[in-house]
């Protein structure tokens, strides 16, 4: 009887571990946004350019941080609105539009920083990075929604992502 209990317990633990590994295996490094040409190009910049880029990044992060914080708050509010027993679709739509406006603001800040960054480069350096620019780009890395490819995790609109999307996952 004791041997039977040990066997059943062992099989139960093995089944739990197998289920957990299958669930955890859904993640992993994928083909989401990762380090693009920017990381490889860092060594091609002069010390002066590196200092200017570092200053640009800090300036950008200071502008983006409050927008990201506000976006996080809007996501919480949207979840609360959608979780109500009788969700008001008009209120939910208004909240989504507020979130889209924040995404647009973040995208505009990123584009402005990219323009300033490109202005620091020599024509040869601009040619080397191409029209898409340097920095984060598509390559091996963590996907937008956690692990996996673009749009495959927790962000709105991705596979397995809970939430809403207007069909634009640029951020």
Report yes or no on 150 lying in a domain.
no
pTM of the model: 0.56
Report yes or no on 93 lying in a domain.
yes
The whole-angstrom separation of Cα 5 and Cα 58 is 60
CATH number at residue 70: 1.20.120.1490
Report yes or no on 121 lying in a domain.
yes
Q: Coil, strand, or helix at residue 68?
A: helix
Number of domains in the chain: 1
**Crossing angle of the two packed helices 47-83 and 89-120, in degrees rounded to 10:** 180
Report yes or no on 144 lying in a domain.
no
Residue pLDDT, tens place only, 95-107: 999 999 999 999 9
Report yes or no on 128 lying in a domain.
yes
- Give residue 115's domain range: 40-135
**3 C-beta neighbours (distance < 10 Å), count:** 7
Residue pLDDT, tens place only, 126-160: 888 887 665 544 333 444 444 444 444 444 444 44
Report yes or no on 103 lying in a domain.
yes
- Asked if residues 104 and 64 have their Cβ atoms less than 8 Å apart, the reply is no
């Amino acid at each position: 009887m004791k041997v039977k209990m040990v066997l059943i317990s062992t099989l139960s633990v093995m089944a739990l571990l197998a289920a957990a590994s299958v669930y955890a295996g859904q993640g992993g490094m994928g083909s989401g946004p990762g380090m693009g040409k920017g990381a490889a190009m860092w060594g091609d910049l002069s010390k002066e350019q590196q200092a200017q880029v570092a200053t640009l990044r800090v300036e950008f992060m200071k502008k983006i941080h409050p927008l990201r914080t506000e976006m996080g708050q809007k996501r919480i509010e949207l979840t609360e609105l959608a979780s109500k027993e009788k969700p008001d679709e008009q209120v939910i739509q208004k909240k989504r539009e507020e979130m889209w406006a924040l995404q647009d603001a973040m995208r505009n800040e990123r584009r402005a920083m990219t323009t300033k960054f490109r202005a620091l480069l020599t024509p040869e350096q601009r040619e080397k990075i191409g029209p898409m620019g340097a920095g984060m780009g598509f390559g091996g890395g963590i996907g937008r929604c956690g692990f996996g490819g673009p749009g495959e995790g927790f962000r709105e609109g991705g596979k397995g992502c809970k939430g809403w999307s207007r069909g634009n996952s640029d951020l």
